Structure 1
Amino acid sequence: MRADASPLTEKHPAQVFRPLSEMLSGWEADGIDTASFRAGVETASRRYAAYGLAHMLPLDRVLVGCESSRVGAFGGFHHPDQGYRHLQMVAVITMYGPMERRNPERPALALLDLLRAYAHDCLHYGSRRRYVEVAGRPVRTQYGINFRRTGGQSYSATDQRGSHHTRNLGIVMEGACDAEARSISRQTAARFGFTEPLDSLGTLTYRDMTGTLTKGDTERAAGLSGSDEQTRYAAALGGYETGVNRPYARFLEEFAPGEEDACHTRLLGAIISGDVGTLGAWLDDRHGPGTVSGLFRTSRYFEPSGAVPGPGGG
Structure 2
Amino acid sequence: MVLPGLPPRGTPGVAPGSDPSQDNGLIGHLLAPNEHLIGADPAPLLTALNALRTTNDLADRHPDHTFLPLPQALSQWQKAGVDISPFRDGHAMTCHRYAALGLRQLLPLERVMVAVSSRRHGAFGGFHHPDQGYRHLQMRAVVTMYGRMSEGIPQVPALAVLDLLRAYAHDCLHYGSYRSYLLHEEKVVRSQYGLNFRRRDGRSYSVPDRVLSPTTRNLGVVMEGACDREARSITRRTAAEHGIVVADGTDGFAFRDVTGQLAPADTATLAGHCAGRTSEPAAYLARMGTYETNVNDRYAGFLAEIGQTEAEDLHTVVLSTVISGNMSTLCTWLDRRYGPGAFAALFMSPGYLSLGDPPDRTGLTLAG
Tell me whether the two structures share a fold, i.e. TM-score over 0.5.
yes
The answer to whether structure 1 residue 196 and structure 2 residue 246 are counterparts is: yes
Partner of 1:308 in structure 2?
363
The letter of the residue matching 2:205 is Y
2:297 paired with 1:251: no
Distance apart, 1:309 and its partner CA: 5.9
Task: Find the aligned partners of 1:309 and 1:236 in 2 and give their Cα distance.
Answer: 32
Q: What is the Cα deviation at residue 141 of structure 1?
A: 1.6
Taking the TM superposition and a 5 Å limit, the aligned residue runs for 1:20-59 are: 20-59=70-109
Q: Structure 1: which amino acid aligns with 2:230?
A: E
Q: Are 1:207 and 2:256 counterparts? A: yes
8 A contact 2:192–2:364 mirrored in 1 = no
Select the residue among 59, 69, 93 that pairs with 2:143.
Answer: 93
Aligned to 2:342: 291
Give 1:227 shift: 6.8
Kept in 2: contact 1:72–1:227 (CA 8 A):
no
Question: In the alignment, what sits opposite 1:118?
Answer: 168
- 2:131: which partner in 1? 81
Q: Which has the larger radius of gyration?
A: 2
1:11 is matched with 61
Name the TM-score, length of structure 1 as normaliser.
Answer: 0.95
CA contact (8 A) 1:116 1:181 kept: yes
State, as a whole percentage, how many aligned pairs show the same letter. Answer: 51
* Pair 1:69-2:119 in alignment: yes
1:273 aligns with 2:328: no
Residue 200 of structure 2 corresponds to residue 150 of structure 1: yes
Determine the structure 2 residue equivalent to 1:234: 285
Q: Distance in 1 between matches of 2:272 and 2:212?
A: 20
Check whether the contact 1:224–1:234 (CA below 8 A) recurs between aligned residues. Answer: no
Q: Does the aligned pair in 1 maintain the 2:215–2:300 contact within 8 Å?
A: no
Larger relative contact order, structure 1 or 2 (CA cutoff 8 Å, min sep 6):
2
Quote the RMSD (CA, aligned, Å): 1.5
Map of 1:102 onto structure 2: 152
**Runs of at least 5 residues in structure 2 that lack an aligned partner in the other structure:** 1-51
Partner of 2:38: none
- Match runs of 1:177-192 below 5 Å: 177-192=227-242
Question: How many residues end up aligned between the 2 structures?
Answer: 308
Change in Cα spacing, 1:259 to 1:100, as seen in structure 2 (3 Å) is same
CA distance in 2, matches of 1:57, 1:304: 38
1:217 Cα shift? 0.3
Can you list the C-alpha shifts for 1:208-242, whole angstroms capped at 9, x where unaligned?
A: 01101111101111233687001000000000000
Distance 1:3 1:309, change over 3 A: closer
| 3-state SS of paired residue (2:319) | helix
Could you report, residue by residue, the CA deviation over 1:271-305 in whole angstroms, capped at 9, with x for unpaired residues? 00011211111111111111111111112223843
Structure 1, unmatched stretches of 5+, are: none
Following TM superposition, by how much is the alpha carbon of 1:151 offset from its aligned partner in structure 2, in angstroms?
2.5
Following superposition, which runs of at least 4 residues in structure 1 exceed 3 angstroms of deviation? 223-227
Q: Which residue of 2 aligns with 1:166?
A: 216
CA–CA distance in structure 2, aligned partners of residues 309 and 83 of structure 1: 25
Q: 2 CA distance for matches of 1:51 and 1:219? A: 34
Q: CA deviation at 1:195?
A: 1.2
Cα distance between partner residues in 1 of 2:82 and 2:333: 46
- Quote the Cα distance in structure 1 between the aligned partners of 2:360 and 2:128: 40
| Residue pairs, 1:118-137, within 5 angstroms | 118-137=168-187
CA contact (8 A) 2:199 2:364 kept: no
